[in-house]
Amino acid sequence: MFSGYDFEIYWGPRKEDPSECARRLSKMLKKLRPISPLLSEWASDAMDLDNNRVLTSKSELEKFLAKGVSKNDGDHKIVPELGFARSICNAFDDGSFVHLRFDIGVWSEFSHNGILLNFPVITDVIKPILSIDNIIKIFRILIECWSPDFGHFTSSYLAKDLDWPKIDFEHSECYWVTYLSKPYGELPELPEQVKIMNEKEGGKIIILIGDSFAEEGTGDLELVKRTRSILAHSSQ
């Protein structure tokens, strides 16, 4: 189970080579830099999970991704349809930490592409990132760079309260903040506390938290449960 606070986006099969994936990834990292000093440090201090320095220019990311090509566990034969899986991270001396994992270039119908941006703990450096304005900025950057089908901002605390990893078929996937692309269609009437932002190309961002989230680190669990239930029943 993950720990802390996560931005996650997902999309279906999309065949892309290391060059195209690196272009998207480089663009995303550049756009994220102004949001926080922790994110801006990726320009020079990104590390992989073995503490090796990772340069984040497009050409260097292309080489980095190519080394992460998916292989069979047994004979280590390359499985091109499963794309590339790598991680980078960055940390400050005060305990601020960010982890970015990407599973991209996947074109198998039995799998999916995804980006995970994880902040394990809240520190004074990270608190501003968790403001509503910055959460939306990060979502819009992820959407612009990757054109996902679905995305959400959540926390391990919310997952625990929702009894993760149990599956409740009476509730849909909806978290503190959720992105749905146009194919998801029109939304039903939701509780008045829910804010909906219409995005480019017909997507929607559903917001279930307020300005106090950055300080408190949590929101209204009952609102999440009620919204999930409404969305689930509307899709039946």
- CB-based contacts of 131, cutoff 8 Å, min separation 6: 211, 213, 214
The pLDDT tens digits of the residues spanning 100-142 come to 999 999 999 988 999 999 998 878 888 899 999 999 999 999 9
pLDDT in tens, 33-88: 999 988 988 776 688 888 888 888 999 999 999 999 988 777 778 888 999 999 99
Ordered by start, the domain boundaries in the chain are 5-234
DSSP-derived 3-state class of residue 78: strand
Cβ contact 188:230 at 8 Å: yes
- Residue 187: CB atoms within 10 A of its CB come to 15
pLDDT at 1: 43
Give the three-state DSSP class for 184. helix
The pLDDT score that the predictor gives to residue 191 is: 95
**Strand ranges, E, within the chain:** 5-11, 84-91, 97-104, 113-119, 150-155, 177-180, 195-198, 204-207
Examine the pLDDT at 164 and tell me if it is beyond 60: no
Higher pLDDT, residue 173 or 166: 173
CB 174 within 8 A of CB 158: no
Which band of pLDDT confidence, cut at 50, 70 and 90, is reported for residue 168?
low
pTM, entire model: 0.90
Q: What is the mean pLDDT of the chain?
A: 87
